[in-house]
Amino acid sequence: MINSQGTVITVSVGPLTLIALAFAISGYVNWSSDAAWNEFINAASASEFSTPVQHGPTGCPVGKRKLPTQITPLP
């Protein structure tokens, strides 16, 4: 004999669980998106005030190396 009350409870709890899970996922995505946006904005505003790296004629950050005049083959 099938318990109809147990079936009704099971059928009712399943969709409610899925709805609660959907709200939880939606809230998490919204929260993580806000956190990522704030991190991006903070990094962008911090880089505006940093001093630029000086590059020499070779594009090397050190800037003191000269361009090679000849290519030397490897041994």
Give the per-residue pLDDT at 58: 54
Residue 75 identity (one-letter amino acid): P
pLDDT digits (tens, 9 = 90+) for 8-48: 888 889 999 999 999 999 999 988 888 888 888 887 776 55
Cβ distance 62 to 55 under 8 Å? no
Decide if 37 contacts 47 (C-beta within 8 A).
Answer: no
CB 56 within 8 A of CB 65: yes
Q: What is the mean pLDDT of residues 46-60?
A: 57
- Pick the closest to residue 68 from 4, 7, 57 (CA basis): 57
Q: What tokens were used for 56?
A: 């020499």
